[in-house]
Amino acid sequence: MKRSLPFLVLLACWLVTSGCASGPKFREVSGTFPALGTDEGRIYIYRTTTFGGAIQPSVRLDEQRVGKAIPKGFFFVDRSPGGYQIATSTEVDRTLSLTLEQGQIRFVRLDVSMGFMVGHVYPVLVDDAVGKKEIENCSYTGTSGK
Amino acid sequence: MRRCLREWLLLGTLSYLVAGCAFDVVHVKQAPTSFTSGEGKAFKLDREVKVNLGTGFPTTLKAGTVWTLAGSSQHGDVYRTRDQVVKVEASNIYEAFIVVADESLVGFYLPVEETFAPIKKPIELQIDSLDP
């Protein structure tokens, strides 16, 4: 048992912190992103916490996969004004409903909470000032699908 | 060995059941409502308001926020603000506008769902009317 303790500690550390995003940071790369279209708004989706790092569910926007909840990572989607649902699935489904206006930039943070068998990752709409600050040190993971 | 197998079977069954259910434990009570866009009125909220919908996740409307008319519903006028994110939260989270009748908060309008989420007792708002 004593001999397996270091292994268990390492395994626990890996489960907590594994799989962090490694791309360029927001502050380095955000200037290179394309300007918004005339009839579009932008939603930044990011995850600051490494807690539950092994759990990286897909993120869906109106049931279309747009990215992955990678710790310390972010991506963005540009969409026409309207109402949208952002969803993640672990052992449960969690959704966030939000509106998007022309030229508007919104920030959605992916939080993690304890679950029954695995942690739950869920999207939270945050104030612009909070989002702008928190996303600074996140790394770009790229958007999948449109 | 048999006991171990039984425990694993039990755990497996529980996991299956849990994975199969939506785990949507706490709901926001909401009902479809009418909504007509409008504009022309605005006010500043003088005092912070904390609203509890009974979901365990209170919604706070910050003091000093400016609210502009977005429209009207059968329950009252619908206002929104750009000074803070307003959301009602249960198992899922919904962006919300506030519904005001007779200078009291009566509930929330959920613009994506197009529904009204009432609060149990109207809350009188301390407001300063602003020129539109």
What CATH number should be reported for the domain holding residue A108? Answer: 2.60.40.1120
Q: For A49-88, how does the pLDDT look when each residue is reduced to its tens digit (9 = 90+)?
A: 887 777 889 999 999 999 999 999 999 999 999 999 999 9
Domain boundaries, chain B: 31-130
Name every residue whose Cβ is closer than 8 Å to that of residue B93 and which is 6 or more positions away in sequence.
Answer: A94, A95, A96, A97, A122, A123, A124, A125, B87
In this prediction, residue B64 has a pLDDT band, given cuts at 50, 70 and 90, of very high
A126 within domain boundaries: yes
Dihedral angle of Cα A114, A119, A120, A126, to the nearest 10 degrees: 70
State the best of A101, A106, A125, A127 to mutate against chain B, taking most chain B CBs within 10 Å. Answer: A125
Q: How many domains does chain A have?
A: 1
- Write out chain B residues lying below 8 Å of A116, CB-based: 18, 23
- Write out chain A residues lying below 8 Å of B112, CB-based: 83-85, 97-99
A8 touches chain B (CB under 8 A): no
Residue A106 has pLDDT above 60, yes or no: yes
Whether residue A72 contacts residue A137, with contact meaning beta carbons closer than 8 Å, is answered with yes
Give the percent of chain A with pLDDT over 90: 66
Between B36 and B4, the more confident residue is: B36
A57 within domain boundaries: yes
> Closest partner residue to B22 among A93, A97, A98, by Cβ?
A93
The two tokens of residue A103 are 């030229």
User: Are A83 and B15 a contacting pair at CB < 8 A?
Assistant: no
> Closest partner residue to A99 among B19, B24, B111, by Cβ?
B111
Of all residues in chain A, the one with the smallest CA distance to B94 is A97
Residue B4 has pLDDT above 90, yes or no: no
Which strands form A139-140's sheet, in the order they lie side by side? A120-126, A105-113, A41-47, A73-79, A139-140
A146 within domain boundaries: no
B61 touches chain A (CB under 8 A): no
Structural domain harbouring A18: 5-140
Q: How many CB pairs under 8 A join A and B?
A: 50
Q: Which of A76-80, B3-7, B42-46 has the lowest mean pLDDT?
A: B3-7
Of all residues in chain B, the one with the smallest CA distance to A89 is B22
User: Are B22 and A98 a contacting pair at CB < 8 A?
Assistant: no
Quote the pLDDT of residue A90.
85
A44 touches chain B (CB under 8 A): no
CA pair distance B43, B39, nearest whole angstrom: 12
Of all residues in chain A, the one with the smallest CA distance to B25 is A92
Global pTM reads 0.83
Whether residue A71 contacts residue A37, with contact meaning beta carbons closer than 8 Å, is answered with no
Quote the pLDDT of residue B131.
72
Between B40 and A16, the more confident residue is: B40
Cβ neighbours of A112 (radius 10 Å): 20
- Interface ipTM > 0.85: no
- Write out chain A residues lying below 8 Å of B15, CB-based: 117
A65 torsion bin: left (phi>0), alpha (psi -120 to 50), beta (else): beta
